[in-house]
Amino acid sequence: HQPLNAANAEGVAKHTTLYDGRKASHRLHVLVVGCGMGGLAAAHCLGQAGHKVTLFESAASISEVGAGIQVTPNVSRLLRRWGAGEALERVTVRPEALVFRRYEDGDRVAYTRLSNMEEQYGAPYYHIHRADLHKILYDLAAPFMTLRLKATVVGVDPNTPSVTLASGEVVRGDLIIGADGVKSLIQGVVLGHTNPAEPTGDAAYRAIIPSHLLLNDPDLKGFVDIPEMTGWMGPGRHIMAYSIRAKKEFNIVLIHPDNGSVESWNAEGSADRMRADFADFEPRVRKLLSFVDSTLKWRLMDRQPLKTWIHPSSKVVLLGDACHPMLPYRAQGAAMAIEDAAVLGNLLSRLTDPAQLKTLIQAYEDLRLPRTAETQRQSRLNQKIFHLPDGPEQEKRDAGMRQAMEAELR
Ligand code: FAD
């Protein structure tokens, strides 16, 4: 088992020839629904490819939740290629390694070097605040798009094609991209029926702690001084923790069984409840959690891979969580959405005649669906591996990981 995402780095290179700035000679008006990371990356890539882009977002302002995110080399490579290399360097932390520990005593069971990603895959591994990544993508998309905020899409006519907004306004275009997230409305239009995402049995608490609190504590100082990403594996639960924002903030994600208590898919969680859920973790974890005043709680959803992402009219297509929501256990949800955008933009930069649209959209699905389906599957597999109950299987897992660690550190 390889708990990392490095293997994904080869994907984009395999799946696309490098986009070389080519512009489509037939220009489309593309309507993108959703201003998440996927929608913004799509706006950048399609705009860059010469198309006109209007992006619709139901929220009144652009924002992202207060949490960290991992940017693996398959994505940092794209962001650099798009010109965001310096911006990334300013706001990220480059982790040296991923270290997995036993939950109850902190004993180290796995070590994977991350500092050599640039050598191995041509781009670094980064940790970043979600708002900072969202802003980088916004800045990349802004020159190419008309952004409509407070513009909830309530209906789609896939044949015209057009979207209807909550205000009653109808906007016509040539292609609609559903980048509207895990609760996608557009997905229902593409499939012709609703197919809600499924609970995975897990939920996540997320919190950010100011790093100076850790630096003032001799037991916790090392978590900031040495930029490792630390994972603790326990029965039915795991934690991932790492520094963000030039090591000024410390991000912590705590995965635990979903007790069904959250009505919405993300909500304010109780910090005391979180501490109780992880009370049997090693003392350093308990100390870390004592610094958390408030937490966000996420119900984690995914779905079986869809058979298609394209409406039969070939004028509505899905991207990101709208078509392939996944558990975050390979840190690839946003990564896959951004890769989707890169491939779609690259393909549609070749459009010279409207009759080619169907073939190019189909090529997008053919290139992307198997890769995202496999990533969804592997993310589910990590759920089993990370959460093994104490016993023979867990001992076997740890022994295998220790062996790999010794080889890595030799
Ligand atoms: P979203 O971000 O959900 O964006 C959808 C947008 O569409 C929203 O802004 C919404 O308001 C808008 N919208 C919805 N419906 C409408 C409508 N009808 N009209 C107008 N607008 C609409 N991924 C990684 O790559 N690395 C990680 O380390 C990582 N860690 C994660 C940790 C956790 C705990 C979780 C929960 C996820 C993590 N992910 C990670 C996954 C990542 O967050 C998602 O995959 C990614 O944000 C999906 O982006 P998206 O643009 O497809 O959808």
The pLDDT tens digits along the chain (410 residues) read: 333 344 443 444 454 567 888 999 999 999 999 999 999 999 999 999 999 999 999 999 988 888 999 999 999 999 999 999 999 999 999 999 999 999 999 999 999 999 999 999 999 999 999 999 999 999 999 999 999 999 999 999 999 999 999 999 999 999 999 999 999 999 999 999 988 999 999 999 999 999 999 999 999 999 999 999 999 999 999 999 999 999 999 999 999 998 775 545 566 778 999 999 999 999 999 999 999 998 888 899 999 999 999 999 999 999 999 999 999 999 999 999 999 999 999 999 999 999 999 999 999 999 999 999 999 999 999 999 999 999 999 999 999 999 999 998 98
**351: which DSSP letter?**
-
Q: Whose CA is nearest to atom 29 of ligand 1?
A: 331
Note the pLDDT of residue 394: 97
Q: Judge if the beta carbon of residue 335 lies within 6 A of ligand 1.
A: yes
Q: Judge if the beta carbon of residue 178 lies within 6 A of ligand 1.
A: no
Of 180, 242, 258, 379, best ligand 1 pocket probe by most atoms within 8 Å of the beta carbon: 180
CA distances from 400 to 3, 20, 228, 338, 407 (A): 12, 43, 21, 33, 11
Note the pLDDT of residue 291: 97
Q: Judge if the beta carbon of residue 58 lies within 6 A of ligand 1.
A: yes
Is 223:250 a contact under the CB 8 Å cutoff? yes
The torsion defined by the Cα of 5, 82, 15 and 324, in degrees rounded to 10, comes to 60
Note the pLDDT of residue 6: 40
| 320 CA distance to ligand 1 middle (Å) | 8
**pTM for this model (two decimals):** 0.95
Note the pLDDT of residue 297: 87
Note the pLDDT of residue 11: 47
Note the pLDDT of residue 261: 59
Note the pLDDT of residue 331: 96
Q: Judge if the beta carbon of residue 68 lies within 6 A of ligand 1.
A: no
Note the pLDDT of residue 270: 86
Measure the CA–CA gap between 96 and 76, rounded to whole angstroms: 16
Q: Where are the alpha helices (DSSP H) in 226-332?
A: 271-277, 283-290
CA distances from 143 to 50, 139, 146, 290 (A): 12, 8, 9, 44
As to burial, measured by CB atoms within 10 angstroms (0-12 exposed, 13-18 middle, 19+ buried), residue 233 is buried
Measure the CA–CA gap between 245 and 297, rounded to whole angstroms: 22
Q: Judge if the beta carbon of residue 59 lies within 6 A of ligand 1.
A: yes
Q: Judge if the beta carbon of residue 163 lies within 6 A of ligand 1.
A: no
Q: Which distant-in-sequence residues (6+ apart) come within 8 Å of 112 by Cβ?
A: 3, 4, 97, 98, 404, 408
Q: Where are the alpha helices (DSSP H) in 163-216?
A: 185-191, 211-215
Note the pLDDT of residue 17: 61
